[in-house]
Amino acid sequence: GRGGGGGGDPKLLVKDDTGVATAALHPSCVLAQPTAAKLKGGYLIYGELVSTSALFIRDVTAVPPVALMLFGGRLSIDSKANLILLDDGWVRFRVQPEIAHAIVQLRAQLDATLRRKIQSPELDLASKSSAGSALISGVVALISCDLGTQTSV
């Protein structure tokens, strides 16, 4: 989902196999509390989607756009519009073409490294001598900084 602009509660969109729906933060969610920082166009991931009097998300964490690009759904590039598309364009990130290609290549390397880890659980990616160590360190650093991407849903 994505926080909306213009005051009030943010507009949260959720997508599953059946389509897209509007949801709200569950009242028990920390981000729903009056003391919580207001969302400013960020993205949220959630652990649980519940339907009671309305559709609510719980166990919510804010994530930066680069985390969605590296760990979210399928990525593709629209070179004419300078966009990275996530999940067939449901989420779009406006980035310079060379950055878009670098992110897609990084995502492919990360996916391959994670597949190797799944196939060989004993593989130590934290070890400095590990082939994936530099990649993992780079991904952590990248997620920790702001790329200055513009996003839209």
82: left (phi over 0), alpha (psi -120 to 50) or beta: left
pTM as predicted: 0.74
More confident residue, 104 or 10: 104
Out of 7-11, 57-61, 65-69, 101-105, pick the least confident. Answer: 7-11
pLDDT digits (tens, 9 = 90+) for 23-34: 988 888 877 777
Could you tell me the pLDDT band of residue 42, with boundaries at 50, 70 and 90?
Answer: confident
Per-domain residue ranges for the chain? 12-63, 66-152
SS3 90: coil
Alpha-helical (H) ranges within the chain are 65-71, 97-119, 133-144
**Contact (Cβ atoms closer than 8 angstroms) between residue 10 and residue 2:** yes
Supply angle C-alpha 147, 109, 143, rounded to 5. Answer: 25
109 vs 90: CA distance, rounded Å: 23
Structure tokens at 27: 């009242």
